[in-house]
Amino acid sequence: MIGYLCKYTPIHIIESFGEDTYKINPQIYTFDKCNYLTHNNMCSYIKAVIDECYNKKIDKLVLVNCCDSIRRLYDILKKDPLFKFIYLIDMPRKINNNSYKLFHNEILKFISALEDYFHKPFSMEYFLNTIGINKSVNTESFNEIPKNTLLLIGARLENYLLESIKNNGYSIYDITCTNNQCALNETLKLKNALNHSKEEVILWKEKLLINYCKDLLNQFPCMRMCDISKRYNFIEKNKQNIKGIIYHTIKFCDYYSFDYTYLKSNVDIPILKIDTDFLIQGEGQIKTRLEVTNSYK
């Protein structure tokens, strides 16, 4: 099993090697092992990831350079004997033809690293089988949010916080990284156009991987991307159906602090901001704050 954090992770490449993937969403009560490995000022989410890996004995990890904290996490863990395999993917922030080429080269490097570790070649046939059973959701395909819905936005949510919101009877629509994944439209379109002979699959290998890169990069953008207009266009298009916004941020996360400030100033929708450090503590206080949203029903 290989753990990963980011929705831009090429999980289908990993699964084509016969490995299961596990999206790490830390559930811890206190920081422990990370206190020996990191500085006190390190991002609390990264600290939680370290402890989660140790608690669940996750010894293989794939990261995407979403932010500087992720890069520091890679620097720390690549020297840790617990981890048998750790890889950092360099993903572009812009979306254009040059970005597709750059990301394609990164995917090829990643495939090579997996081949070296597992001692077996990458199989395009297995890759196509993997994406064929993909059940991910494409946010862009949803043109309308149901009426009287609370929109969850911001940084990824802890599982207990997400369950607290659901258990309080709220109709929610989640566009955080916790629930947002890629539908692989371009990859599947080309796959379905092929006759699946081994020769044709090999011939179209590069184009298939480039389309896969396009699908990953063009999914609903997180705040690390340069063009985040899709986020605000989506809210503007659905504002009549949004009763309120629950905006989650991780303490001291600049990306989402900027986003929250913009929404607060430019969107005429009630916003409840929840700021956490990814520890399961003060759950009662969170539930009390969520009662504010009763007025949105």
Walk me through the domains of the chain, giving residue ranges and CATH numbers. 2-132 (3.40.50.11890), 142-180+222-296 (3.40.50.11900), 185-217 (no CATH)
Least confident of 37-51, 54-68, 78-92, 173-187: 173-187
Whether this prediction's pTM lies above 0.85 is answered by yes
Tokens read off for 263: 């929404």
| Cβ pair 245, 270 in contact under 8 A | yes
Q: Place 89 in a pLDDT band, splitting at 50, 70 and 90.
A: very high
Higher local confidence (pLDDT), 151 or 252: 151
Q: How many CA atoms lie within 13 A of 262 on its CB side?
A: 14
Q: Place 135 in a pLDDT band, splitting at 50, 70 and 90.
A: very low
pLDDT of the residue at 280: 79
Q: What does the pLDDT look like over 242-287, one tens digit per residue?
A: 988 989 888 878 788 888 999 999 999 989 888 888 887 656 666 6
Terminal Cα distance for the chain, rounded: 42
pLDDT of the residue at 195: 66
pLDDT of the residue at 197: 66
Strands (E), the chain: 2-4, 21-23, 60-64, 85-89, 149-154, 172-174, 242-250, 271-276
Q: Would you call 204 helix, strand, or coil by DSSP? A: coil
Share of the chain above pLDDT 70, in %: 86
Q: Place 11 in a pLDDT band, splitting at 50, 70 and 90.
A: very high
pLDDT of the residue at 56: 93
